[in-house]
């Protein structure tokens, strides 16, 4: 579980979350978990921030995303009050770890006090190692928990966060017995582990775990086994890692067709179901649960970005805005230690493009999420995303 993964180069948020893992050769962690990394600054002077983006890549999607990250970062800088940021942008050649390490070191040589990015886990890990001895933190765009820690904090939404939010809500609805159904690949395994930890840490029980090959025939051949397991275990919910544009339509159709009672064992989704409109008509997902970001704040960001740049932002662009917003809020406080890890991981968190979020001392993050269901082919919000930390759902 703690081996390093590399995020896949895909253009959608769903694919980024579902297929964001590939093996790295090694994780070189050179800092202790409780090291208070970060330089002192003069908050009255402009703070130099480096933005590492996947530009200079052979993949057009990388270059498009690089521009989106820069656009969002500059939008955030324009919104700052009480803080001045000098931004320098560096290309990592897609996810090239060697180039990421080189430009991270160059950024610190150029005066950067903190680094935002890069995106891909291998590149972020390499950048973190390259500047670990330079007392500089990295706010990576990755959602990969294996690279988090030391001077690397991840901004991307994690399976752990989503699983915890859904489990806490489901527990309050009287659900305590869960079956986990996951694709038989690395992302499915990581999702399975996140669900298992969330269920157990919130007082529930995982009463069955079933996997399936990631193909239509593979799911169909596993259906009877999965349905039998759910039925015999007495599971009150089937927590699935399936993705909206991948295996979820088959899983959500095949299991009910084979006799799984979705009223007694409702589906809970680790990924968003609202990104593919056709899913809303699947009877198997009626009454199920999934999580999504604060839609009001996300819409505000998307509209502001579109008005400024003439196009809708990439689903991941808001991570760059969030990184700048967090740094700006801390610098505006006038604290010389604003960029140290202890300050970055303040428990009160920050206001981001998809709601409030906070960075955790272990390098992961916690993001406020709403709980939704599907009723009569419509997404219905059951519990709004919290607007601050300490309330229900966080």
pLDDT at 187: 87
Mean pLDDT on 320-345: 96
Could you give the residue ranges of the DSSP H alpha helices within 292-386? Answer: 295-309, 318-332, 341-344
Residues ≥6 apart with Cβ < 8 Å to 68:
313, 314, 316, 317, 320
Is the confidence at residue 335, as pLDDT, over 70?
A: yes
Residue 324: which pLDDT band, with cuts at 50, 70 and 90? Answer: very high
Closest CA to 362 of 150, 125, 87, 143: 150
pLDDT of amino acid 393: 54
Q: What is the pLDDT of residues 215-243, one digit of tens each?
A: 999 999 999 999 999 999 999 999 999 99
Q: Does 59 score more than 70 pLDDT?
A: yes
User: What is the structure's pLDDT at 391?
Assistant: 56
pLDDT at 133 over 80: yes
> On the CB side of 383, how many CA atoms lie within 13 Å of its CA?
18
Residue pair 20/271 in contact (Cβ under 8 Å)? The answer is no
State percent of the chain over pLDDT 70. Answer: 91
Residues 6+ apart with CB under 8 A from 84: 45, 46, 47, 331
Instruction: Tell me which of 284 and 31 has the higher pLDDT.
Output: 284
**In this model, does residue 356 exceed pLDDT 70?**
yes
Of the pLDDT bands very low, low, confident and very high (cuts 50, 70, 90), residue 368 is very high
- Of the pLDDT bands very low, low, confident and very high (cuts 50, 70, 90), residue 27 is very low
Residue 257 has pLDDT above 60, yes or no: yes
Q: How far apart are CA 335 and CA 348, in angstroms?
A: 16
Q: What is the pTM of this model?
A: 0.88
Q: Is residue 304's pLDDT more than 60?
A: yes
Residues in the chain: 394
CB 94 within 8 A of CB 56: yes
Nearest to 323 by CA among 139, 81, 60: 139
Average pLDDT over residues 7-15: 34
* Average pLDDT rounded to a whole number, residues 138-159: 95
What would you report as the CA-atom Rg of the chain, rounded to the nearest whole angstrom?
A: 21
118 to each of 23, 53, 123, 178, 380, how far by Cα in Å? 17, 6, 6, 36, 35
Scored b (16 or more CB within 10 A) or e, 229-259 reads bbbebebbbbbbbbbbebbbbbbbbbbbeee
Cα angle at 274 between 350 and 141, to 5 degrees?
40
Distance CA 272, CA 290 (A): 6
> Predicted confidence band at 155 (pLDDT cuts at 50, 70, 90)?
very high
pLDDT of res. 89: 98
pLDDT at 18: 34
Task: Express as a percent the part of the chain with pLDDT over 90.
Answer: 88
pLDDT for the residue 1: 28
Cβ–Cβ under 8 Å, residues 227 and 262: no
Question: In the predicted model, what is the mean pLDDT of residues 200-219?
Answer: 96
Q: Chain-wide mean pLDDT for the chain?
A: 91
Residue 110 has pLDDT above 80, yes or no: yes
* pLDDT at residue 342 is higher than 70: yes
Tell me what pLDDT residue 186 has: 87
Could you tell me the pLDDT band of residue 11, with boundaries at 50, 70 and 90? very low
Confidence of residue 12 (pLDDT cuts 50, 70, 90): very low
Residue 271 has pLDDT above 50, yes or no: yes
Query: What confidence tier does 394 reach under pLDDT thresholds 50, 70, 90?
Result: low
Identify the band that residue 360 occupies on the pLDDT scale cut at 50, 70 and 90: very high
pLDDT score at 361: 95
């Amino acid at each position: 579980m703690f081996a390093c993964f590399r995020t896949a180069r895909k253009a959608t948020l769903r694919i980024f979350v579902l297929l964001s893992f590939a093996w790295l050769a090694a994780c070189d962690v050179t800092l202790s978990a409780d090291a208070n990394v970060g330089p002192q600054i003069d908050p009255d002077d402009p703070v130099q921030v480096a933005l590492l983006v996947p530009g200079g890549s052979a993949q057009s999607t990388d270059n498009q995303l690089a521009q989106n990250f820069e656009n969002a970062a500059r939008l955030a800088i324009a919104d700052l009050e009480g803080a001045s940021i000098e931004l320098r942008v560096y290309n990592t050649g897609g996810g090239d770890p060697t180039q990421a390490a080189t430009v991270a070191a160059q950024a610190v040589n150029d005066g950067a006090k903190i680094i935002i990015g890069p995106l891909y886990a291998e590149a972020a890990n390499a950048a973190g190692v390259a500047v670990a001895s330079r007392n500089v933190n990295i706010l990576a765009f990755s959602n990969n928990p294996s690279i988090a820690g030391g001077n690397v904090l991840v901004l991307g939404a994690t399976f752990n966060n989503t699983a915890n939010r859904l489990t806490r809500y489901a527990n309050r609805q009287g659900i305590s017995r869960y079956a986990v159904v996951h694709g038989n690949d690395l992302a499915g395994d990581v999702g399975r582990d996140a669900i298992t930890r969330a269920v157990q840490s919130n007082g529930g029980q995982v009463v069955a775990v079933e996997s399936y090959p990631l193909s239509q025939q593979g799911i169909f051949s596993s259906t009877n086994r999965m349905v039998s397991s759910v039925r015999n275990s007495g599971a009150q919910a089937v927590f699935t890692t399936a993705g909206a544009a991948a295996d979820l339509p088959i899983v959500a159709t095949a299991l009910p067709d084979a006799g799984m009672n979705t009223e007694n064992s409702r589906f809970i989704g680790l990924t968003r179901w609202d990104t593919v409109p056709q899913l809303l008509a699947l009877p198997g997902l009626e009454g199920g649960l999934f999580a999504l970001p604060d839609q009001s704040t996300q819409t505000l960001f998307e509209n502001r970005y579109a008005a400024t740049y003439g196009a809708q932002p990439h689903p991941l662009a808001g991570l760059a805005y969030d990184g700048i917003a967090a740094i700006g809020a801390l610098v505006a406080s006038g604290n010389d230690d604003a960029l140290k890890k202890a300050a970055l991981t303040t428990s009160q968190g920050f206001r981001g493009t998809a709601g409030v979020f906070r960075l955790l001392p272990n390098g992961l993050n916690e993001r406020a999420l709403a709980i939704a269901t599907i009723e009569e082919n419509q997404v219905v919000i059951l519990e709004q995303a919290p607007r601050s930390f300490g309330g229900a759902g966080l």
